Amino acid sequence: MNTQFIEYPKCSTCRKARTWLQEQGVEFTGRHIVEQAPTAEELRSWWQASGLPLKKFFNTCGTKYRELNLAARLKEMSEEEMLALLATDGMLVKRPLLVTENGSVIPGFKAETWSTALCK
């Protein structure tokens, strides 16, 4: 498996992250988060590998997040319900999402964090 870069191409942060990866010479496979939405199983695996709270995998700035009133609803949802919901629509997932060859999974883009994960 090589490094996966899961993105929404119209997202400015995703474009910035893609450029950064290219400038660093990182070989990766891009994946359109809407056209190839992650499955609940993929999301579970990534979440567990990340060591982060599952809520970090939600795109809290997105329109869909606000429309569904998820800020309030997530507090009452089980992890299985959250994973199932994330799998229904790629736009609910925090992006970009980096899944490295060494097993690191990072939602969102911060160059320092990505650099550390890619150098493990």
Residue 31 in this model has a pLDDT that exceeds 60 = yes
Give the strands of the sheet with 105-107, arranged side by side: 28-32, 3-7, 97-99, 105-107
Residue 47 vs residues 29, 113, 118: alpha-carbon distances, Å:
19, 16, 18
Predicted TM-score (pTM) above 0.75: yes
pLDDT for residue 1 is more than 80: no
Share of the chain above pLDDT 90, in %: 93
Average pLDDT, the chain: 95
Give the tens place of pLDDT for each residue, 41-91.
Answer: 999 999 999 999 999 999 999 999 999 999 999 999 999 999 999 999 999
Q: Which residue has the higher pLDDT, 1 or 84?
A: 84
pLDDT of residue 10: 95
Q: Does the pLDDT value for residue 120 go beyond 60?
A: yes
> CA geometry: angle at 111 spanning 23 and 28, to 5°?
50
Local confidence band at 119 (pLDDT 50, 70, 90 cut-offs): confident
Domains with residue ranges and CATH for the chain? 3-118 (3.40.30.10)
Q: Using alpha carbons, select from 84, 119, 19, 63 the residue that is nearest to residue 106.
A: 119
